[in-house]
């Protein structure tokens, strides 16, 4: 079945509801060397080691147990955050994002039960008008924050032609989503190592129909050929990072960590092009 990652249908990966220059490259740290232990097939990580990984929150909509977290997001400017378009749809939030009074970005918080870090209100939400909820093409939105994030909480983005997009490149995805594919949501931030996969693999896995349609011009294929490491429900909008640069936003897939069903990410080079951010170097 098709899921975007609040991952619901061939799933966007969003959690289901319980009731300013923009750098193209930066010295953002590469994923630290942490042993794999337990995103699906991942390991725990501190927010300080990926300060640009932030959570979208609405306690009114999703409850307070996990700080209201329902999606991931990534800081690409001190007041500019990218997330998945499907994360801020009315079907997820219950109303237009501008009418959600407690929509916030949580930064610098490893454990969602804690009060560490910042909770910053979202001042403005811009959703890609070309987003197609059927194919999941163009699955990105830009959030403008009411307060600035720290300077080190920003990651650079990989423009078109960057070698970070090459197949077999090692990459890491970050989030607070389901760690098993069975509704097991952690309180603390996780990461999973994987590889950028060839477009051909995702074109074969998602040729069209119920499981979705892969488009190489706007999407990126990542995971492991044998499955086991993947983003999952609740990770939508979170970052996929390779060679210290943002290359993808968690978007959709079929199941979580299944062999033959890689994760599909919004291709960040397409986001840069659509928003005209090539000039912001």
Q: Where are the domains positioned within the chain?
A: 51-153, 163-269
Q: Exposed e or buried b for every residue in 202-236, given b needs 16+ CB within 10 A?
A: bbebbeeeebbbbbeebbbbbbbeebebbbbbbbb
Query: Of 118, 127, 126, whose CA–CA distance to 148 is shortest?
Result: 118
* Confidence (pTM): 0.88
**Of 57, 58, 135, 139, which is the active-site residue?**
139
Predicted local distance difference test score (pLDDT) of residue 21: 40
Q: Which residue has the tokens 């209100």?
A: 121
**Of 50, 58, 67, 86, which is the active-site residue?**
86
Decide if 251 is catalytic.
Answer: no
Contact indicator for 69, 187 with CB cutoff of 8 Å: no
**Of 50, 236, 251, 261, which is the active-site residue?**
236
Measured distance CA(15)–CA(203) in Å, rounded: 26
Measured distance CA(94)–CA(82) in Å, rounded: 20
Predicted local distance difference test score (pLDDT) of residue 162: 97
Q: How many residues make up the chain in this entry?
A: 281
**163-269 adopts what CATH topology?**
Thrombin, subunit H (2.40.10)
pLDDT per residue as tens digits for the range 27-72: 333 333 333 333 666 799 999 999 999 999 999 999 888 999 999 9
The answer to whether domain 51-153 and domain 163-269 are alike in fold is yes
Decide if 254 is catalytic.
Answer: no
Measured distance CA(17)–CA(224) in Å, rounded: 29
pLDDT per residue as tens digits for the range 143-174: 999 999 999 999 999 999 999 999 999 999 99
Low-confidence ranges of the chain (pLDDT < 70): 1-41, 182, 279-281
Q: Domain 51-153 - what CATH class? A: mainly beta
Decide if 86 is catalytic.
Answer: yes
């Amino acid at each position: 079945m098709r899921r975007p990652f609040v991952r619901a249908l061939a799933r966007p990966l969003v959690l289901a509801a319980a009731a300013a220059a923009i750098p193209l490259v930066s010295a953002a740290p590469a994923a630290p060397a942490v042993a794999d232990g337990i995103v699906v097939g991942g390991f725990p990580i501190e927010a300080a080691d990926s300060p640009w990984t932030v959570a979208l929150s609405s306690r009114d909509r999703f409850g307070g147990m996990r700080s209201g977290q329902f999606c991931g997001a990534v800081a690409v400017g001190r007041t500019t955050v990218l997330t998945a378009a499907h994360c801020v749809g009315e079907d997820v939030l219950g109303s237009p994002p501008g009418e959600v009074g407690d929509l916030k970005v949580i930064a610098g918080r490893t454990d969602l039960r804690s009060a560490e870090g910042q909770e910053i209100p979202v001042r403005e939400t811009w959703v890609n008008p070309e987003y197609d909820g059927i194919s999941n093409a163009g699955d990105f939105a830009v959030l403008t924050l009411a307060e600035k994030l720290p300077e080190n909480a920003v990651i650079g983005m990989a423009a078109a032609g960057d070698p970070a997009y090459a197949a077999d490149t090692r990459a890491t995805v970050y989030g607070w989503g389901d760690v098993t594919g069975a509704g097991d949501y952690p309180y603390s931030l996780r990461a999973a190592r994987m590889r950028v996969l060839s477009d051909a693999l995702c074109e074969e896995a998602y040729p069209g129909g119920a499981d979705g349609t892969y488009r190489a011009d706007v999407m990126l294929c990542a995971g492991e050929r044998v499955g086991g490491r993947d983003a999952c429900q609740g990770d939508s909008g979170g970052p996929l990072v390779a060679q210290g640069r943002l290359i993808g936003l968690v978007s959709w897939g079929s199941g979580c960590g299944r062999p033959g069903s890689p994760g599909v990410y919004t291709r960040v080079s397409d986001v840069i092009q659509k928003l005209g951010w090539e000039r912001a170097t």
